[in-house]
Structures are given as structure tokens and as C-alpha cells.
Amino acid sequence: MKQEDEQKKDGNLYVGIDLGTSRSSISAGNSTREWIESYVGWPRDFIAQQVVGKPVLFGAEALQNRLSLDLCRPLERGIIKAGIEKSDEAVKEIIKHLVGLAKPGADQKINAVVGVPADTLKVNKLAIRAAVSEYVHSLMVVSEPFAVAYGMNLLNNALVIDIGAGTTDFCIMHGTIPSEDDQKTILTAGDYIDEQLFSYLSEKYPNSRFNRNMVRQFKERFSFVRDVPEDVQVELPVDGKPVMHDIKNEIRRACESIMPALVETTIEMIARIDPEFQVKIKNNIVLAGGGSLIRGISDYLQDALREYGTCTVTCVSDPLFAGSDGALKLAQDMPEKYWEQL
């Protein structure tokens, strides 16, 4: 309540933005919450322009029209792809679009907290400042898992693991703003599962037709580790005819392919902590990001860590907005001196 009052007083719009490889979301102080897939596309030529009828397209709409567009996914592996043609421009467009979706008042100033993957904070700060300076008046860039942790009030003795598309980000919270040592990023995340699934399916069904986008959709629909009671079957064309394919085993293997690195890094992060606090942190491990929707993943991790003592692993309730909601909360709570004026 206190924050809302302050906001009314200074008249600014506070926003939290989660800039993700695959999805980006915004949560704003005026209660708007929106997300888009992090794709930007520009019509390739004069005909394409007439077909799509817009100068620039975003997210799902850009993907649907991809044959007419120069398509850019600017944040692959969690970093703005420096030097790659149009990726800076694409990040700018995403920010502009997200801020627009939050419907700020005509002359309202925007104060934004932007979450990015932990390891790339330094590289990204400059690039993000350049990308947002036209649309945002005050800025703070934070790591994605820190934003999640702040939003959930996990400020002390917790480990947040954000399993995204390009990266899995780890962040230990122990009562202060996390330092570099408290954070780690690894590259086994959703995109990696997609690659594995694509190759397992190509091997098992060499004559069937499917693409990476379809494979990702199969994963998002059926993902699990260990076991689920039901069959997992999808329809794919073989020589032009639709045929049912059993993909259960491949889904499981692909989803489980990220687990060894996940377990190992979790153990490594906990081992860095003063032993007195390790038990507390082990009992407060929270999974976030789209990867936390894999069925059975929290139990899997919890059991894998059991040989190191008791532990508790849970998942955030709203992975799509946990990052941007936390960033918004930070924006609303943050003292003046932390803001960077643009």
C-alpha cells in the first residue's frame, strides 16, 4: 500500500521487465501484466509488407508469419547477441512494445527494473541501457533469479533456480543483495532439452516430418521426468499421411538430460555456503522459469539431493510472471539512490 501511495505522488509508472530468451514479460504498477515470445520480425520486402500489413511483428504473430519476415530472437543464450545485425534493434523493439502494452499515461515517466540472466549481468547492463534509454527514464538491471527471490520474499537462506530457455540461473539469497559469487549460470535449459528431443525423435523416426518448433510444443505439452501413468503420442506426417507416434520415452530422456548438471550445480552452490547455513538453504530451494513446469522435477531434485541430508524443493506458482512481478516489487521498494537516471 505504501508503495502505491508513493507512486501516485510522483506520478511515475513503475514496471518490472523480465527479458527472457524465449519469453519476455512486463508487470506494471497500474496492474497490467503482459508477456510476448521474444521474437521480432520485419517484413522482408515490399510484398511481405503488404501481406503482414505492419512495419514490425512480435512473438507468436511474428512466428506465424516467419516466411515473410526477417526474424530475430535477440537474446539467445541470455545475452544480447552483440554485433549480430538487428539484435540491438530487436531488443529495443521488444522493450518499446512491452512498455506500450503496459499502457503508460501520455506524459508518465517510466521507472524500470529489468531482469537478465545472472552471469551476463555485466555484458548486458551496457547493452540494455542502450536499448531502453529511449523509452525508460530510470533503470536498474538485476539478475533474473534475484528478481524472482525478491518477489517471493525469499531474502534470506534460499536458493532460487530459474530454468529458462537459454540458461538455468542459480542465485543464493542470504540476507543481502547477491554478489557474483552467489550466482551462477549454466547453459543446460529448455533449448537444450529441445535439441535432445529433436535428435532422439530424428533417430527413432527418420521418415517422419517435424521441425524444432513442433518439438518444443510437444515438450511443453507432455514434459515429465521419471514416469507418468499415461501414454504420450503425437500425430506426424509420414510420406504425407498422418501417423501416430509414441514419444514418451524420448520426452522423458530429453527432460532428464538437464538433471545431472542441475543436481551438480545445486550441490556446488550449497557447498560454497558457511556450513551453519547450509541446512536452512537446502530446505528452501525454489524452482522458477518455464522449466519448473516439467512434471516431477522438484521431487527428482529433492531425491537426488537426499544423500546430502534432508532438503525441500518447491516450484513457484506462476513461472510466467514470477520474474517481472519481482522486478516490479523491487522497482516499487527501491530507494532513490539505486536508480540510474537515463
Asked if residue 293 binds ligand ATP (CB under 6 A), the reply is: yes
Quote the least distance from Cβ 9 to ligand ATP, whole Å. 33
* Grid cell listed for 207: 521418415
Give the three cell numbers for residue 133: 534509454
Per CB under 6 A, 220 contacts ligand ATP: yes
> Which among ligand ATP, Mg ion, none contacts residue 189 (Cβ within 5 to 8 A by kind)?
ligand ATP
Q: Which residues pair with 342 in a beta bridge?
A: none
Q: Judged by CB under 6 A, does residue 250 bind ligand ATP?
A: no
Q: Single out the residue of 158, 146, 135, 189 nearest to residue 297, CA to CA.
A: 189
Residue 301: partners with Cβ closer than 8 Å, 6 or more residues away: 259, 262, 263, 266, 285, 287, 313
Q: Which of 188, 187, 195, 241 has its CA nearest to residue 219?
A: 195
147 binds, among Mg ion, ligand ATP, none (CB under 5 to 8 A by kind): none
Whether residue 131 contacts residue 95, with contact meaning beta carbons closer than 8 Å, is answered with: yes
C-alpha grid cell, residue 212: 524444432
**Closer by beta carbon to ligand ATP, 151 or else 291:** 291
- Determine the Cα–Cα distance for residues 151 and 329; give it in Å rounded to an integer: 6
Report which residue type is found at 109. Answer: K
Q: Is 190 in the site for Mg ion (CB under 5 A)?
A: no
**236, 248, 232: which is closest to 210 by C-alpha?**
236
Closer residue to ligand ATP (CB): 28 or 116: 116
Instruction: Output the smallest distance, CB 77 to Mg ion, in A.
Output: 12
Nearest distance from C-beta of residue 2 to ligand ATP, angstroms:
30
Angle (CA) 275-277-279 rounded to 5° is 90
Cell numbers 537516471 correspond to: 341
Exactly one of 16, 17, 23, 171 binds ligand ATP (CB under 6 A); which one?
A: 23
**Part of the chain binding ligand ATP (CB under 6 A), chosen from 19-27, 45-53, 235-243, 259-267:** 19-27
Angstrom CA distances, 81 to 25, 74, 193, stand at: 19, 6, 21
> Which residue among 74, 151, 164, 178 contacts ligand ATP (CB under 6 A)?
164
Near Mg ion in 127-156, by CB under 5 A: 144
Q: Tell me if 10 contacts ligand ATP by CB under 6 A.
A: no
- Interface of this chain with Mg ion, residues 18 to 37, rule: CB under 5 A: 20
Measured over the CA atoms of residue 289, residue 291, residue 296 and residue 299, the dihedral's sign is: negative
Q: Which is nearer to ligand ATP, 170 or 273 (CB)?
A: 170
∠ Cα 81 87 90 (to 5°): 140
Rule CB under 6 A: is residue 78 a binding residue for ligand ATP?
yes
Toward Mg ion, which CB reaches closer, 147 or 236?
147
63 touching ligand ATP, by CB under 6 A: no
Q: List residues binding ligand ATP (CB under 6 A).
A: 20-23, 78, 117, 144, 162, 164-167, 189-191, 216, 219-220, 223, 289-291, 293-294, 319
